[in-house]
Amino acid sequence: MIAEVIVDVTTKAIDRPFDYRVPDRFKDLVKAGMRVVVPFGPRKIQGFVTKVKEETDIKTGSIKEIVDLFDLSPVLTDELLELSHWLTEKTLSYHITALQSMLPAAMKAKYEKEIQVLSEEELPQSLKELFGQRESILYADIPAEQLKQIQKHVQKGHLEVRYHVSQKSGKKKVRMLQLAVSKEKLEEKQQQLKKNAVKQKALISYLLQAGETTFLAKDLQQQTGASSQTLKTFIQEGLLTESYEEVYRDPYRDREFTPSASLDLTPEQREAAKHIHQAVSEDQHETFLLHGVTGSGKTEIYLQTIDHVLQKGKEAIVLVPEISLTPQMVQRFKERFGSNVAVLHSGLSTGEKYDEWRKIHRKEVKLVVGARSAVFAPFENLGMIIIDEEHESSYKQEEMPRYHAKDVAIERAVRHQCPVVLGSATPSLETYARAKKGVYTLLSLKHRVNQQQLPHVSLIDMREELRNGNRSMFSEELMIRLKEVLERKEQAVLFLNKRGYSSFVMCRDCGYVEQCPHCEISLTYHRYQKRLKCHYCGHEAPVPSECPECHSEHIRYFGTGTQRVEEELTKVLPEARVIRMDVDTTSRKGAHEKLLTSFGNKEADILLGTQMIAKGLDFPDVTLVGVLSADTSLHIPDFRSSEKTFQLLTQVSGRAGRHEKAGSVIIQSYTPSHYSIELTKQHDYEAFYEQEMLHRRHQSYPPYYFLAMVTVSHEEVTKAAHVTDQIVQFLKMNCAPNTRILGPAASPIAKIKDRYRYQCVIKYKRENELASLLRKIQDHYQKEMEQKQLMISIDMNPYMMM
């Protein structure tokens, strides 16, 4: 029996299956989708069995054997194995990387170097002491001054280097104690104890009174005050036996969930749900776009359609963007489906994630709610995949394999013949265009449930404020409204629009920001050269000393941190209790949840934060939402910046007045007449879509054209530029005439960790050979890339244009 194995080495030449013999002892055990340990060169490494077969072309003498099994049942299903080929091809990544990305990080291989004693008597005293009673020690545990000596004895053959393969995080076990004797026997023991054996006596009387015979060791100690030594004595005397039991690290263990029942759907909801139900009933693949305004009850539709799927005996995946995977969101699913839900997101520890994954693997749950990678949940009987907030860019993985969860979801759903539901109040242009063409089925919810109005939005022109002498970051109207909220004892959310890296120069008097004449994106300010650059096409311009529009001298950098806003806020509104949420205040595990809970308990009046508070929050007393700087996301150098701005503002506005109390929204901007800001006021997605599509068509961007991006980095700026130029020339020579190759251009983040970055953007309509051309580029530079000097990353569907 032969197994084809993809080994854990990320090198082009090795990224293919190798044949290994399955030794007799593993004969009936090895199956495709399992992880095994195999010899590779001098080392032992982990690998995935992708196929089991009878014969091999390799000569009998030279074929190696599988040395160990990592799993006793496959961790990847046949479907996922097959999907891994598709994923590798689509993203131009290594097959091994694609396989690994389908499993939780805890299951990644960990390699430990061990030194094993072969002949102890030959070792000098110092080494004998180092090893003590042990036969081997971890290489990492050897003191530096003894390394030389170790090396010497390895060469002499007295010691041996071995590689130990394990996975990063193991299963969690708890110590259990069982009563091993009858109660009479215990009473007998009680009689024999000395007077002063207080702890032992306490332990015995506890054991005698207890209704059960099995205890958690930890509980037993807590209840009786018994020391570890006492327990040990009892075990040695045969009164107790100990064992270790596997438990799940359940992050929601201590939380109580009151079961919730299905709500009566509104006519609009019912109509939408009907279509999805039908696809579920008929086992049909169909992709739906559930386009519903904020608060229109999309989540309730998810819950009811999932219920339908589960009743059919099938399984469902719900993807939620990382930042909106709030406790509130999780709660809604747990309340409806109880212990049938696994939750996977980055707030969990590696071990917790592994445990949640194992619940899926062991078929203990039928529903998973999770961030991007949950799309690979190893269900075998999938009945539906839901992607909430489908426009969110966190669904795109920004490292190898650079996949978009939506593509993976649709690919899996086709294989399982089940529906995909994409939900959003502000769908991505690509998705909406497909829905309009009939590729996806459009389902619309135009009203909030209970006939609540969408919040009233006022746009504040910050240039006006400046002209009227208000130099603070809060407009007059925002201050008035904030004070009203405080008086009425309601709550407000203040949103500081800060999106990743963005550095642009703006006129404070008129809001002017210089754009590339060729690409319609804002020029990026480069501090070193003090110049403005377009990082799509390389166009450069000097920084203007006065505004070309209004001749003001107030033209400079733009950007403010949350901390400064908080300081200002406490100055102007000293009575307000403020909770600040940004990367600084939420970096500790659980901090995010704690702050939100505290806001929900009305321990603060104002929640101030960045993107992380834009979504999913649902607090009944929030009646005011303020956006301090609508413009920031408008000027990130990305052709999607208008789309991002409209989505963000719509989402934030949706946080206001979701319950009985009416809500209002104040948006501050230096360019309030820009369509992406203006149209937020009318909550008019359709109008925004039409406007934005004009721009996309005009500049040949998606959804009219496809994009691909190649980013090159190197320590030497000339080398990075030169290689990018070669790539550009190669592509220009080999691509279709209507394909546009832009670049080489400096990346907006021109330098990361001392490496200069250049990029090339490819816009194409139809280019069957593109993948193979890009593969050729990877092959061509393979040697240099393996020496780690040159890095070339290829993104077939870029979302981060930096």
Q: Is 296 an interacting residue with respect to ligand ADP (CB under 6 A)?
A: yes
Nearer to ligand ADP, 150 or 386 (CB): 386
Structure-block tokens of residue 506 = 């703006």
What letter would DSSP give residue 770? H
Instruction: Name the minimum Å distance from CB 742 to Zn ion.
Output: 7
Q: Are the CB atoms for 483 and 597 separated by under 8 Å?
A: no
Sequence-distant (≥ 6) Cβ neighbours of residue 65 within 8 angstroms? 20, 21, 22, 23, 39
Nearer to ligand ADP, 286 or 300 (CB): 300
Could you tell me whether strands 622-627 and 664-669 are parallel, antiparallel, or unpaired per DSSP bridges?
parallel
Other CB atoms within 10 A of residue 520 CB: 17
CA atoms in the 13 A half-sphere facing the CB of 602: 9
Residue 299 interface partner, choices Zn ion, ligand ADP, none, CB cut-off 5-8 Å depending on type: ligand ADP
Instruction: Name the minimum Å distance from CB 761 to Zn ion.
Output: 10
Nearer to ligand ADP, 63 or 449 (CB): 449
Three-state helix/strand/coil letters over 428-443: CHHHHHHHHHCCCEEE
CA atoms in the 13 A half-sphere facing the CB of 484: 12
**735 annotated to a ligand binding site:** no
Radius of gyration of the chain (CA): 31
| CA 709/CA 794 separation, integer angstroms | 6
In order of 509, 515, 648, 652, 687, the CA distances from 678 in angstroms are: 19, 20, 13, 15, 11
Structure-block tokens of residue 369 = 């709610």
- Phi and psi at 558, nearest 5°, equal -130, 135
Nearer to ligand ADP, 333 or 675 (CB): 333
Residue corresponding to tokens 């999907």: 83
Scanning 184-192, 288-296, 335-343, 700-708 for contacts with ligand ADP by CB under 6 A, the matching segment is 288-296
Q: Is 93 an interacting residue with respect to ligand ADP (CB under 6 A)?
A: no
Residues that bind Zn ion in the complex, under the rule CB under 5 A: 507, 509-510, 512, 516, 518-519, 534, 536-537, 539, 547, 549-550, 552
Q: Which of 35, 158, 298, 406 binds ligand ADP (CB under 6 A)?
A: 298
Structure-block tokens of residue 624 = 């005011």
Binding mask 215-244 for ligand ADP (x = CB under 6 A): ------------------------------
Q: Is 297 an interacting residue with respect to ligand ADP (CB under 6 A)?
A: yes
Residue 572 interface partner, choices Zn ion, ligand ADP, none, CB cut-off 5-8 Å depending on type: none
Instruction: Name the minimum Å distance from CB 673 to Zn ion.
Output: 14
**Would you call 77 exposed, middle or buried from its count of C-beta atoms within 10 A (0-12, 13-18, 19+)?**
middle
Cα-to-chain-centroid distance, residue 47: 25
Sequence-distant (≥ 6) Cβ neighbours of residue 728 within 8 angstroms? 741, 743, 744, 760
Residue whose C-alpha is closest to residue 420's, from 264, 263, 271, 275? 275
Scanning 228-236, 298-306, 354-362, 704-712 for contacts with ligand ADP by CB under 6 A, the matching segment is 298-306
Residue 549 interface partner, choices ligand ADP, Zn ion, none, CB cut-off 5-8 Å depending on type: Zn ion
Structure-block tokens of residue 698 = 């005009």
Binding mask 427-466 for ligand ADP (x = CB under 6 A): ----------------------x-----------------
Scanning 4-12, 18-26, 168-176, 287-295 for contacts with ligand ADP by CB under 6 A, the matching segment is 287-295
Other CB atoms within 10 A of residue 340 CB: 17
Which amino acid, residue 788? K
CA atoms in the 13 A half-sphere facing the CB of 478: 28
Residue whose C-alpha is closest to residue 374's, from 337, 325, 334, 416? 325
Which amino acid, residue 264? D
Instruction: Name the minimum Å distance from CB 265 to ligand ADP.
Output: 5
Residue 142 interface partner, choices ligand ADP, Zn ion, none, CB cut-off 5-8 Å depending on type: none
Nearer to Zn ion, 318 or 519 (CB): 519
Nearer to ligand ADP, 300 or 582 (CB): 300
- Alpha-helical runs (H) found in 312-367: 327-337, 350-361
Structure-block tokens of residue 160 = 């041996």
State which of positions 254-283 bind ligand ADP (CB under 6 A): 263-266, 269
Nearer to ligand ADP, 329 or 636 (CB): 329
- Phi and psi at 641, nearest 5°, equal -60, -35
**550 annotated to a ligand binding site:** yes
Instruction: Name the minimum Å distance from CB 28 to ligand ADP.
Output: 49
Other CB atoms within 10 A of residue 528 CB: 7
Instruction: Name the minimum Å distance from CB 298 to ligand ADP.
Output: 3
Q: Which of 50, 84, 299, 394 binds ligand ADP (CB under 6 A)?
A: 299
Nearer to ligand ADP, 384 or 459 (CB): 384
Instruction: Name the minimum Å distance from CB 498 to Zn ion.
Output: 23
Sign for the CA dihedral angle at 572, 576, 581, 583 comes to positive
**510 annotated to a ligand binding site:** yes
Q: Which of 294, 515, 623, 759 binds ligand ADP (CB under 6 A)?
A: 294
Instruction: Name the minimum Å distance from CB 385 to ligand ADP.
Output: 17
Nearer to Zn ion, 186 or 541 (CB): 541
Q: Are the CB atoms for 33 and 80 separated by under 8 Å?
A: yes
Instruction: Name the minimum Å distance from CB 293 to Zn ion.
Output: 35
Structure-block tokens of residue 329 = 């969101």
35-40, strands of its sheet edge to edge: 18-21, 2-7, 43-53, 35-40, 68-69
Could you tell me whether strands 524-526 and 531-533 are parallel, antiparallel, or unpaired per DSSP bridges?
antiparallel
Per rule CB under 6 A, count of chain residues that contact ligand ADP: 14
Instruction: Name the minimum Å distance from CB 535 to Zn ion.
Output: 8
Q: Which of 74, 251, 292, 383 binds ligand ADP (CB under 6 A)?
A: 292
Scanning 1-9, 220-228, 294-302, 403-411 for contacts with ligand ADP by CB under 6 A, the matching segment is 294-302
Residue 414 interface partner, choices ligand ADP, Zn ion, none, CB cut-off 5-8 Å depending on type: none
Q: Is 300 an interacting residue with respect to ligand ADP (CB under 6 A)?
A: yes
Instruction: Name the minimum Å distance from CB 292 to ligand ADP.
Output: 5
**760 annotated to a ligand binding site:** no
State which of positions 510-569 bind ligand ADP (CB under 6 A): none
Residues in binding site for Zn(2+): 507, 510, 516, 519, 534, 537, 547, 550
**Interface residues toward ligand ADP, by CB under 6 A:** 263-266, 269, 292, 294-300, 449
